[in-house]
Amino acid sequence: MFIQTEHTPNPATLKFIPGKTVLGDGTVDYRSKEEAGGSPLATRLFEVDGVTGVFLGSDFISVTKGDAEWPHIRPAILGAIMEHYLSGAPVMSGASSDEDAAEEDYDPKDEDTVKTIKELLDTRVRPAVANDGGDITFQGFKDGVVFLHMRGACAGCPSSTATLRHGIENLLKHFCPDVQEVRPV
């Protein structure tokens, strides 16, 4: 089994591509071993000393480290992913996605604007962000402000503010005149 590794804009996160389906649809973001109980793969990755986050995408796994150095923990992470797939265990033992776990907050009168925002996020933003090992999901819209949840490699990434301000905000303002600002949750 060959597992490809890619750097992400976040130096604390590496993207691992096992060449096999991870989730297929949806995403799941774990920030601790305790949260990862529903995923045998994520639980195994948290057993590697220094791993502080695991993000599962359709065909990739983003792993975030704490103070450890990549040359020291990367081989153990690759081994854990390989062992998982060779064991035949499922990636998820329960629900397959937490994509809609957080309740969205917006006024029903803004339904059309929210629909446009979500469509733009799904078709233009999320595919690009997934290439970098992360995800951005809609959280709410109020008084011209779009609230987005950044996950995976995007969470804590030094360039995430620039991505929000210059990329996503400009895109949404262009197509949705009601949008005045974009903020992370």
Domain contains 169: yes
β-pair partners for 106? 141
Over residues 8-37, mean pLDDT: 92
User: Model's pTM, two decimal places?
Assistant: 0.80
> Bridge-partner residues for 131, per DSSP?
none
Question: For residue 140, is it within any domain?
Answer: yes
Do 116 and 49 belong to one domain? no
Q: Please state the rounded mean pLDDT for residues 51-73.
A: 95
Q: Is residue 65 part of a domain?
A: yes
Q: Is 96 within a domain? A: no
**Residue 62 pLDDT exceeds 80:** yes
Residue 170: which of 146, 149, 154 has the closest Cα? 146
- What pLDDT, on the 0 to 100 scale, is given for residue 150? 83
Q: Is residue 137 part of a domain?
A: yes
152 touches 6 (CB < 8 A): no
Residues 114 and 53 in one domain: no
Number of structural domains found in the chain: 2
97 within a domain of the structure (yes/no): no
The verdict on 81 and 131 lying in the same domain is no
CATH number at residue 148: 3.30.300.130
61 with 124, same domain? Answer: no
> Of 87, 118, 150, which residue is a domain's last?
87
What is the residue range of 159's domain? 105-184
Together in a domain, 29 and 78: yes
- Residues 82 and 109 placed together within one structural domain of the fold: no
Mark which of 27, 54, 87 sits at the end of a domain: 87
Residue 150 covered by a domain: yes
Strand order in the sheet with 28-30: 4-7, 13-17, 61-65, 51-56, 28-30
Residue 139 and residue 81 share a domain: no
Q: Quick: pLDDT tens for 135-173.
A: 888 999 999 999 988 887 777 677 777 777 778 898 999
Any domain includes 32 = yes
The CATH number of residue 10's host domain is 3.30.1370.70
Whether residue 61 is found in the same domain as residue 122 = no
